[in-house]
Amino acid sequence: MKLSLKILSFLILYSALWSCGSNNSKTNETEKKMDATPSISAPDFNSDMAYSKIEKQLSFGNRVPNSPGHVACGDWIVKSLKDLELEVIEQKFEAFSFKGKKLNARNIIGTYNPTATKRILLAAHWDTREVADQDDERKDNPIPGANDGGSGVAILLQLAEEVAKAGIKPNVGIDYVFFDVEDGGKPDSFTGNALNDFGGYLMGSDYWSKNPHKENYTAFYGVLLDMVGAKSATFLKEDASMQIAPSVVNKIWDIAASKGFSGYFINQKGAGITDDHLPVIINLKIPMVDIIDQKISGNQTFFDHWHTHDDNLDAIDKNTLEAVGETIIQVLYQE
């Protein structure tokens, strides 16, 4: 992901597509029905177990496509979902690095309650960045990706576990989608051509949104989790999310505040981010919001260790994992 300097043009594009699309009535329905009043008790979210799932991912090493760690981590995600008796689809596809290298990629989808008509899409990317372009040293080496990649995956897997073992289930279908090749964008120092409309980023979500795992797939709305585990995280209301699904954003932030997490979910508009929600919005016209750590200060956009070798376990705070996990599980049960 990166700060989008072209976000306005994307907003104009998909707003135009939205206005003439067949899903417009569904989108309006979504906007009308968001209720942020916590009235149903959701299961607790186990942040210790979520943290252990970040540890597990890092034990594989970097998860850059074509690496042994990437293969092992993908297999582990698939097994974790199958162990919860979810319907699992592996979507294999071919992608290319910013250097033109062919990548063996796969999106992984775990489906809970597959027959439910009303569906919520939850997503994160599971690959890690090939280069540490924001570091002062070893810039050409891959990063650990504890927060950038690992935290979103861990929270999704823990959410799936909490729902699977709960005595009372949410009244919706849930699709947990793990996007691959999100972080393959070219660094600023690279002078070659971009490989797609997003500068080489978002390849997995771009592919999935053009080739969904089920024909005519749609969802009531989607939530993307990206960089959701760092110490002192602040989640601003990302610009594209507010353009397309303001009531979904406001519902999530209101639920977070009701649970005491307003120090994380800041009631303030943030920048537009090139992230996995954009292809989903543009190609599938699903209203999707991005929960991503943005700094309130104008000196930087993302967390301190973004795209550096310090994106390791030391960067992770269980309190942040709890704030995000507790909020999203309440959102699911609120439906």
Query: Could you please report the per-residue DSSP string of 274-301?
Result: E-THHHIIIII---EEEEEB--SSTT-S
Indicate if the pLDDT at residue 307 is higher than 50: yes
287/221 Cα distance (integer angstroms):
5
Range(s) of the domain holding residue 119: 2-334
Q: What is the DSSP string of 165-185?
A: H-SS--SSEEEEEEESS-S-P
Percent of the chain residues past pLDDT 90, beyond the cut: 78
Residue-wise pLDDT for 222-259, tens only, equals 999 999 999 999 999 999 999 999 999 999 999 999 99
Residue 118 burial by CB count (10 A; 0-12/13-18/19+): exposed, middle or buried? exposed
Alpha helix ranges (H) inside the chain: 7-20, 24-33, 47-59, 68-83, 152-165, 203-210, 239-244, 246-258, 277-279, 318-334
Residue-wise pLDDT for 136-186, tens only, equals 999 999 999 999 999 999 999 999 999 999 999 999 999 999 999 999 887
Query: Which pLDDT score is estimated for 35?
Result: 56
323/135 Cα distance (integer angstroms):
28
**What is the token pair recorded at 46?**
């186990």
Local confidence band at 5 (pLDDT 50, 70, 90 cut-offs): very low
Mean pLDDT of 91-95: 95
Indicate if the pLDDT at residue 78 is higher than 60: yes
306/299 Cα distance (integer angstroms):
14
CB 72 within 8 A of CB 60: yes
Residue-wise pLDDT for 18-50, tens only, equals 554 444 445 555 555 555 555 678 999 999 999
DSSP 143: P
Count up the domains in the chain and report the number. 1
| CATH number, domain with residue 90 | 3.40.630.10
